[in-house]
A and B are shown apart, each in its own frame.
Chain A
Amino acid sequence: MDEAFLWSAEVLAAQGRLPEGVSIEEITWLKRLRQGLDKTRRSLVNQLRAIVGQGPLNQAGVTEIESLLLQADVGIDATDYIIEALQARLRQEALPPSEAIAYLKQILRDMLDKPLGDSHSLSFVPEKDMLNIWLITGVNGAGKTTTIGKIAHIAQKSGYRCLIAAADTFRAAAVQQVKVWGERSNVEVIANPGKNTDPAAVVFDAIIAAQARHAELLLVDTAGRLQNKKNLMDELSKIRRIIDKKAPGAIVESLLVLDSTLGQNGLRQAEVFSEVAKLSGVVLTKLDGTAKGGIALAVVQQLGLPIRFIGAGEGIEDLRPFSSYEFVEALLSG
């Protein structure tokens, strides 16, 4: 039995899950999440023990943790905040590395879970028997279209009537790409055959189609845009307005797709998209790589946006609900 398997099993056990209730997919999934971790690296606890020996966590140990957070793209401000919270506790009582880390994990999980309030529900699902519209936005190449393909697949499998709006009318072969994803899960894609058409018009058509067909979930794929492009952000706010106006009764979720390899610019992205697209959550992609996606901590803390899904692969099944527990374990195990 390999190390990754053991790690996955431990993570699940710590969540209070019994072995018989765990599916092989879940283990596979967790293994993938951990895939990026350098196997030769010692666990954080061992690393710290090597520094402090048998004694309590000292300044050198804290500095080690700080480096780890910075290398995970948590960013200076958020790292300062976390380290300060940890130090505050250490000033009260001396803690051995294992306890200090347990406390650190708690700080991180609390940060991530805060936007969810008291409802620690891990499932984020569309409402049945009514129209849900999920607007998917983000910078270029973040993984929006792929995420739509994956969501469409689960939705279809779970028995939702689903529809996709191909509102990236700009990028070369963007419509073909989303159509392939539609075919894979047997979900119809609404597109405008014309070239460089107004994306808001496509969204409009898709809403009409969704209403006519009593669709329950309409996924809107948008073109990638950098948040400092005023015209493109205006275009996005127009799309959002059309949705609010033409589907007043629908439940709208506005999800920002963040690439976990992103550095500090991710926070700026979240700030601007939040305003323009009225974001309600975040999807963190490409977590199957070695990048830790630490910027998500700053995004959650600064903007109060919950992370809804994570993407860990290019396959249709590689989408999972976000769990702060798993995320923090993966973040600190590098």
Chain B
Amino acid sequence: MTQQDETLAVGKSLPKLENLEKVAGRAAYIADLVRPGMLHGAILGSPLPHARIKGYRLEAALAAPGVVAIVTGEDVGAGLMGAFIKDEPAIARGKVRYLGEPLAAVAAESEAEARAACRLIEVELEELPAVLTPEEGLAAGAPLLHEQLGDYIKIFDSGSEGNLCSRSLFEEGAVEEAWANCDLVLEEVYTTQAQAHVAIEPCGALAEVDQNGRVTLWSANQSVFRVQANVSESLSLPMSRLRCLTPHVGGGFGIKMEPHIQPITVALAMKAGRPVKLILSREEDFEITRARHPFRIRMKTGATEDGLLLARECEVLVDCGAYADDSPGVLGYSLLMARGPYRIANVKCHGKLVYTNKLRFGAYRGFGNPQVTFAGEQQIDEIARQLDLDPFELRRRNLPADGEPWFLGAEVASNGLAQCLDAVARVEPLAPAPLPGRRRGRGLAVNAHISGLLGTGAIVRMLEDGSIVLNTGATDIGQGSDTVLAQICAEALAVPLDMVRVASPDTDGSPFNWGTTASRVTYTTGRAVLGAAREVERQIKEQAGHILECAPDDLALLPGGRVGIRGTDREIPFAAVSGRAHWAAGGPIIGSHSLVFEQPTLDPKRAAALGLPFPRIGVFSFIACLVDVEVEEASGQVRVLEAWSAVDVGRAINPRLVEVQLEGAFVQGLGMALVEEMVWDGPRLANPTLMDYKIPTALDAPLDLHSIIIEAPEPDGPFGAKGAGEIGINPVAAAIANAVRDAMGFRLRDLPLSGERVLDAILAEEAGDAA
């Protein structure tokens, strides 16, 4: 493509900046860090799901070998943290609300001593009846998890009451009247399961406190600024006393966005007066961090016999777990996306989020979108079948026109979904299964996802020799944002990538970045980088104008770190410019830019919204996902043979990194679709190990994963780019379910589509045939 040929760095599949460190085994993660005099922390988890804390007996534990300090709820003041509703203490205080919730933490000379001492702590608990499902939580007379819910700080109109954490209701058009005009109305209930993130690196933190009481905190995180905010809130410390840093991060997918054990680790270090490192075991990582929300979804869609979608209603019931965390956002976002990327004039999406005595559910790649898409895209597939329409054709008939807004009114400035559909429609027909006892099917699902949200900054500095340091505060969790942002910076300043170095996030020195979440870093932080680089360009030209005795407007940046007068051979290197700036006139060259995403989610003239957690949301990426499966009739096992994901990312700054996002997301979605499920035995998570909770291995993932990049440029995106991090997972479970329907003739509405479930359906069909 000519557009890409004209660029120096953007659009090129350059290797990630830190890969040589990683393949050498030298990249340091949180568990690899060591500080002088460092202690090790361990946690005592609650044996009960719901109880009042009556008292602690710490004497035996304090006398145990190696023990230096113990922290309980009595040590952490009255602070509460939470992104939407401030309901969560640093460590259980007064009450415990889920089994495994940290009741106490120990700092000792070794991890083994800390863990041994935890077993010597006695906590007197008065057991309370537990709420284990959202339905139980909403029942009259249900035990309350948060008696003080009314007093908590809430950042939006959440409607919290009883065990109802939040509720949202969004409506456009007149749904109730529209059903009468439909020739076909489908209404079904779908359920989705709790999925664990399973970043291969467990969560951990390391804190130390200096003589002024100032805390330095390293942790596995997706945002040093969210770490800072959460520790500040939960321990009632001023932000200026907290310096938050990040080593390399071993994967996130949402689990490391909001706090895990950073507040407890800081409390231990403050009490011990020595550095403390606390690394969760895999079991603890399963039991006490967070997971994908289980949804119960009632989806109703109506169409004319010509296949025009007229109305949709989506009602969800969502398990929040014990603390709000990001859940109100997940509820609201799922409802915002439940219409799907279609023109449907009459839409009502509403739902409830209910506290239960389970670990908090929270942000997980897709943020509620995979759940509602599992329901919505199966229903679209079913409508196509019942109307005898090609599934591509039904979707094409309902695509919005250019310029049509999203559900509720958000602007959609770029939409490449039609090209995405075209790209996967070109795939050759599926061959029938070569072996008896196996059946094959193909499934399609489409989806949209935002990239955007909240505040971001960037600082671009030129060093004396003309090389560049980029500082954004965005945590690279392995997806390659450092590299992508450096590519944007290098492109803007026409320098080779190796002239740009990326500073590690540091709340003392980096500009604010809300976080590596919401598929937002390339789009929002990329815009900030571009703005900061433009300011550096302006300063370069001002300096060069003095040196070359010309007007800045006559100058152009030249490839390789040079600036010259247009149409002449008069040029100088950046080193000359930067030298003058540092030593003679003008001052060192520093460009900065910051922004907050400002386009409204809601157009009040168009739609009504109650409990809208994101008043300004983002720009839209699109995907069409096609999957071929083979089902083994004897076992019910579903195998994905081949898959195609065509994704409109606006502009692929680094195409290979986009491909990896799509492939990794597909395989994580495959796990969600077919095998992964957190299972509770009463209040106890029954499978908190990788032995019992299986994620896809190299043998489960198809090698034939095809990523097709579509570029419908976003007008204000950096070089047209928008997000790619999450969207790849959203349609996967729906596409696989549609493929199973195609293969088997029956439709499964509960995730995961395990061999057991599929086999049960096969046997039920056979029994039905025999009867």
**Does A pair with B?**
no
